Chains A and B, each alone.
Chain A
Amino acid sequence: MSTQHAITAEKLNVSFGDSHVVKDLSFAVSPGESYGIVGESGSGKSTVLRVLAGLNRDWSGEVDILGKRQPKIRDKAFYRAVQMVFQDPYGSLHPKKTVDDTLAEPLAIHGIRDAEAKITRAMADVGLPSSFRFRFPHQLSGGQRQRVAIARALVLEPTILLLDEPTSALDVSIQAEVLNLLQALRQERKLTYILVSHDLAVVGHMCERLLVMQFGRGVEEMSAETLAARTPQTDYARQLLIASEGFRRAG
């Protein structure tokens, strides 16, 4: 099991005090796959991602990533292989650090030499001109900031990227650019993605398979084809699909 999959979660449970936010969740993601998690707010989708990323330590169950059973506290090598991109580039970048600082820090933490070349390359990979290197976040647009956040994740050359609503704070035209970038990077580097989103069209575009969550449970796992054909098995998934089609005036 653990040798075939990049990520597996078995009977994952997460509680915050009295509220049980993830309940007996199990799923597996193959290497190189792009896997979507969708659901409404409070469904637990972001919490799952935070557990996988090692940001949340109050969970029970089994998590295997890259063939290793993961403890609550991850080691340094883990963070080199698994990186996360957060929703809001206005909140996730340090306002008093330049792009250069942001990209240099992970390299320093991991003791990676040749930072100069790595930073130049990471910026080129996400399509940021090198003239932006010493700018502060407030001197960048939303799309450029999210590129910096992606470059920060990529600079360590991870194999898994965890994406938490990476485009929902962006305008649609910028969203298209960022999604294209993520697609191209995945092909080039054979990355494995888990993409959390509330936007079914984005997930349908980016992922091969997806999981619909509600109240902390996995309601239904389906392929992108099933999503496009709008033929889910469960009532909730069907309801979510209809709701995302837009407003319908009762005749």
Chain B
Amino acid sequence: MTATSDAPLLTLDELRVDFHTPTGIVNAVRGLSFTLGRERLGIVGESGSGKSMTGRAILDLIPHPGVVTAKRMEFRGKDLAAMDKGSRRKLRGRHISMVMQDPKFSLNPVQTVGDQIAEAYRVHHKASARQAKERSLAMLEAVQIREPQRVYDLYPHEVSGGMGQRVMIAMMLIAEPEILIADEPTSALDVTVQLQILKILDDLVTSRGMGLIFISHDLHLVKSFCDRVIVMYGGKAMETLPAQELDRAQHPYTRGLLGCLPDLDHPREKLATLTRDPAWLA
């Protein structure tokens, strides 16, 4: 991977995702703009804030009746909006890929995990079955699976949640994408396993010079893991700030979210509750 230029990998300007339902238009994302470089960008928000829809819109995975529009939506200078479905599909997995929340529902239950990883490789690269298997085994090793040979032949129900998530990461990174979107990649996992997965993700992203979009509802996790954070509410970015400074956030929504969290260091009789201001969405 060459990390020569500082040009952004991804530029989004005024991204909108609207669902045209029989009862009216639902605005899932309302005018979100950001650029992504070779960094770890966190997107945090509560359910319904549009954070997952943003990830899906980048990959062209918004289901009907959703409509994606943007003033500008570029991947390394190429206009995504102008591309046809076929070109978008070629980009997906090869250049931009996504790790989903729960390996239980995201892996094919009737195919061995090794074959699934190999398939992901062969879809994007010319390779023989044997080469693909070798690459897959190497990739399983890269995500710190101890006995790749044995795990290769296991079915998804035979692996633990943490191992399943490593398999997913292996599958997504084997095509060597420039951008990885991780949508709540560790929310279904125990805290200790969560940290192992994040460590693997962190090492791979850093060593390959990738851009990572890390979607999460967990403010503490994003603060400790990401470089930059976008706080979303109701489909809009409330504020964007360096992750380190999340504790000193200015926006009342971010402050409110932080205030809601029980904190071992600052015990309180009563937790603060969040008052939502309609003006935030104006």
Contact = CB atoms under 8 A, between A and B. Distances in A.
Interface of A: 40-41, 142, 171-173, 175-177, 179-180, 183, 198-202, 204-206, 224, 227-228, 230, 239-240, 243-249
Residue among A198, A230, A244, A247 with the highest chain B CB neighbour number at 10 A? A247
A132 B57 CA distance: 36
B262 A205 contact: yes
Bin chain B's interface residue count: 35 or more
Contact of B260 (A142, A172, A240, A244): A172
A198 B191 CA distance: 8
Main secondary structure of the interface of A (DSSP, over half): helix
Given A173-B257, A176-B272, A246-B223, A227 B192 contact: no
B264 A227 contact: yes
A41 B243 CA distance: 29
B19 interface: no
B220 interface: yes
A157 B257 CA distance: 33
Contacts of B195: 243, 247
Given A173-B46, A243-B195, A249-B202, A179 B262 contact: yes
Closest 6 CB pairs of A and B: A246-B224, A205-B262, A173-B274, A176-B260, A40-B190, A176-B271
Contacts of B4: none
B273 interface: yes
A159 B46 CA distance: 34
Contact of A204 (B224, B257, B262, B269): B262
B198 interface: yes
A176 B273 contact: yes
A172 B257 contact: yes
A245 B191 CA distance: 9
Nearest to A200: B264
Contact of B190 (A198, A227, A230, A249): A198
A245 B269 CA distance: 22
A180 B274 CA distance: 12
Residue among A224, A227, A244 with the highest chain B CB neighbour number at 10 A? A244
B60 to A, nearest CB: 28
Interface in B143-199: 161, 190-195, 198-199
